[in-house]
Structure 1
Amino acid sequence: MKQFEVASIPGDGIGIEVVPQAERVLKAVADVHGGLAFQFHSFPWSCQYYIEHGVMMPENGLEQLKPFDAIFLGAVGDPNLVPDHISLWGLLIQIRREFEQVINMRPAKRLDGIQSPLQNPKDFDLVVIRENSEGEYSTVGGRIHSKEDEVAIQNAVFTRRGTERVMRYAFEVAAKRKCFVTSATKSNGIVHSMPFWDQVFKEVSEGYPAIKTESQHIDALAAFLVTKPASFDVIVASNLFGDILTDIGAAIMGSIGIAPAANINVNGKYPSMFEPVHGSAPDIVGKGLANPIGQIWTAKMMLDHFGEEELGSFLLDAIERVTRKGIVTADLGGAHSTDEVTTAIIDELYNAPSV
């Protein structure tokens, strides 16, 4: 019996609602499989925790998380309580950076029964591999002077190590999929970092001769994600470009409420973290409207990370059988509650042929 110890951080807003639902699903997966188990350890770190303690997590929070096999995060942020730059940098980004979660991975796929806003989306199935530790989101820079003389400088930092690492990861993912990698660049406008990015991409690609490659400028690539998303397989991108492209990916699926994400530690020193893309959505808290699919699909990614890829596919198939029946929440045009959608997925897990 394999048992996975998971640190569960529901966080803020609808995170408190969808994380327990996804935990129910994972326990059902384990029950159906019979050869594994999940032990969830819940941590109350959130904006409410900040109001009570003055910090988003305790001083030894990272030490508390370090022994776990993975971190399962719901959502971070409630601007009515705590400014976003405090809540995000005090919890989410601190975990990403200190635990060297240098890869962000977000799939986008047309799910049966969910209407894409695109007129003819075809059966797109892609994944964006985003550099998660440097690039345009570095903290190098600052502001000087005041009023009319004020200057703000934000430095993008691209290291060869970080750039090669995310690209090699993308090629390894592509090797298990359709063997096609697209590089997001902007070397015609950003004259130092992006030509460097292109050079490293060319060098790394030479080590993967069986994988087809292309480079696309970010503006054209964003447009192509809307006009022909089925033409992509794996997209590798810098921190900022990947952030933008993945929100487009969520949008063309039909709702940001179904989009999953993984923050991957590749050296094995620290746990990886799994979180949906949707955020805390404070406007629908407590109404039973939250879409649990983003958190449940995120659980599928955690199964994949644990080496249980067959079980991950089993779970995603169950999700699609439910969406195919029209059992969806209001953001997808349905009338079902958070609990009803989750229960329907669990029923499919028990009724489907076992893996």
Structure 2
Amino acid sequence: MTTRPLIGITMGDPASIGPEIVAKALSNPEIYALCRPLLIGDGQVMVRAFASTGVRLALNPVARPAEGQYVHGTIDLVDLRNVDVATLEWGKVQAQAGRASFEYIQRSIDLAMAGEIDAVATSPINKEALKAAQIDFIGHTEIFGALTGSPDPLTMFETRGLRIFFLTRHVSLAQACRMVTRERVLDYIRRCTEALQQLGVERPRLAVAGLNPHGGEHGLFGDEEVREIEPAIAQARAEGYDASGPHPADSVFWHASRGRFDAVLSLYHDQGHIAAKMYDFERTISITAGLPFLRASVDHGTAFDIAGTGQASAVSMEEAIRVAAKYAAAFRRRR
């Protein structure tokens, strides 16, 4: 019998919907059929989340992952006890919440690097709360990259089989256009292909999206395709990579969703985000590739406006855990 992968789940910002969506996700017995979920967070915050959501589960505090029971009805918890629930307010930016969410990530990285968990699934954190705690990172990807010594990790979205990589992410649109260079596109084709192989795709077919309308129409609407993207793809193909394009961005994601390509390289943040989220908003999952271990995450924010009300949907959290479990074994084999 194949051992279910052990997935470390970070609780996220304790003032956010994170604890609530974790509680709801781990009340689903299907999750336990797929993996052994281990929560990294704060027990008192989870008790509060049980009250707001109506979820009835037991907590089993453990010092190490090997001590967990991993049976439905009980949440195995590495309890950092790093939140003062008497002063924690739902739905507000707070330094203690930013610090706590960072410490959950740190512990998940420590456990993954030590081989005690197979993959990590993360709940949402808040950039302002990190700043209030004087933590000099703007998000999960940057934290995971820095703390694992992984320069420029890749972000890949997956939703119902559609996979999207991003050449640029949190920069202005003007800067993103300047970053579309022959060298960068070629580097990303190589690394995206390797990332897909780590996830078990044997011969990845990677489509590169165009930057300009209709892929530039051979220079009529901008020359980035002719000057930068096409030479990069030609070089990649000469090296044996199955890369194609540049494909017009208004159709390439549709073709990929129908199985023509294994993934699309989006050239800037919103180009790929809009495609994925229009396809299935709740099931769009972010995977960080280029790390020593697999990390999957919800692709939504902390939703402070509904935190503590029990209204937040756990679909994305469940899907993040499913994706982490789905790819964990293939990722281990490839390492």
Asked if structure 1 preserves the Cα contact closer than 8 Å seen for 2:233 and 2:244, the reply is no
Deviations along 1:14-52, whole A, 9 cap, x unmatched? 222112333444x7544x46xx63433326699978523
Counterpart of 1:245 (choices 272, 297, 307) is 272
* CA deviation vs aligned residue, 1:315-335 (integer Å, no higher than 9, x gap): xxxxxxxxxxxxxxxxxxxxx
State which of 219, 230, 237 in structure 2 corresponds to 1:198.
230
8 Å contact kept, 2:102–2:130: no
**1:156 partner letter:** M
**Contact 1:222–1:245 (Cα < 8 Å) also in 2:** no
Paired position in structure 2 for 1:8: 10
Q: Partners in 1 of 2:264 and 2:255 — Cα distance?
A: 19
After TM superposition, give the deviation of residue 169 of structure 1 in Å: 3.4
Runs (5+) with no aligned partner, structure 2? 42-79
C-alpha contact (below 8 Å) 1:76/1:280 kept by paired residues: yes
Distance between the aligned counterparts of 2:176 and 2:243, measured in 1? 38
Task: Report the TM-score when normalising by structure 2.
Answer: 0.59
Q: 1:213: which partner in 2?
A: 244
Could you tell which deviates more after superposition, 92-101 or 13-22? 92-101
d(CA) in 2 for partners of 1:259, 1:305: 15
Report the equivalent of 1:107: 158
* Cα separation, 1, equivalents of 2:225 and 2:17: 38
How far apart in 2 are the matches of 1:207 and 1:138? 30
Partner residue of 1:76? 125
What are the Cα deviations for residues 41-64 of structure 1, in whole angstroms up to 9, with x where unaligned?
Answer: 326699978523885766896477
Asked if residue 260 in structure 1 is aligned to residue 285 in structure 2, the reply is: yes
2:96 equivalent to 1:52: yes
CA shift for structure 1 position 272: 3.2
Please tell me whether the aligned partners of residues 7 and 40 of structure 1 are also in contact (alpha carbons under 8 angstroms): yes
Distance 1:185 1:227, change over 3 A: closer
Contact 2:11 2:101 survives alignment (8 Å): no
Q: Distance in 2 between matches of 1:153 and 1:221?
A: 15
1:303 is displaced (CA, Å) by 1.0
Alignment TM-score, normalising by the size of structure 1: 0.56
Letter in 1 for 2:194: Y
How far residue 279 of structure 1 moved from its aligned partner, in angstroms, is: 1.6
The secondary structure found in structure 1 opposite 2:25 is: helix
Query: Counterparts of 1:153 and 1:239 in 2: how far apart (Å)?
Result: 8
Fraction of identical pairs, as percent: 10
User: What do the CA deviations read for 1:311-353 (whole angstroms, capped 9, x no partner)?
Assistant: xxxxxxxxxxxxxxxxxxxxxxxxxxxxxxxxxxxxxxxxxxx
2:154 aligned partner, one-letter code: I
Change (3 A) 1:82 1:175: closer
1:275 Cα offset (Å)? 0.9
Kindly state the Cα deviation for residue 263 of structure 1 after the two structures are TM-superposed: 1.0
Superposition RMSD on alpha carbons, in Å? 4.7
Q: C-alpha displacement at 1:300, in angstroms?
A: 1.6
**Contact 2:10/2:122 (8 A) holds in 1:** yes
CA distance in 1 between partners of 2:226 and 2:94 (Å): 39
Relative distance call for 1:265 and 1:50 in structure 2 (3 A) is farther
In structure 1, distance between residues paired with 2:98 and 2:230: 44
**Matches of 1:20 and 1:192 in 2, distance apart?**
47
Question: Residue 8 of structure 2 aligns to a residue in which SS?
Answer: strand
Q: Is the 8 A contact 2:229 2:246 kept in 1?
A: no
Task: Report the AA paired with residue 17 of structure 1.
Answer: E
Distance 1:226 1:192, change over 3 A: closer
5+ long unaligned stretches in structure 1: 110-124, 142-151, 310-355
Residue type at the aligned position of 1:89: F
Q: Which moved more, 1:100-109 or 1:228-237?
A: 228-237
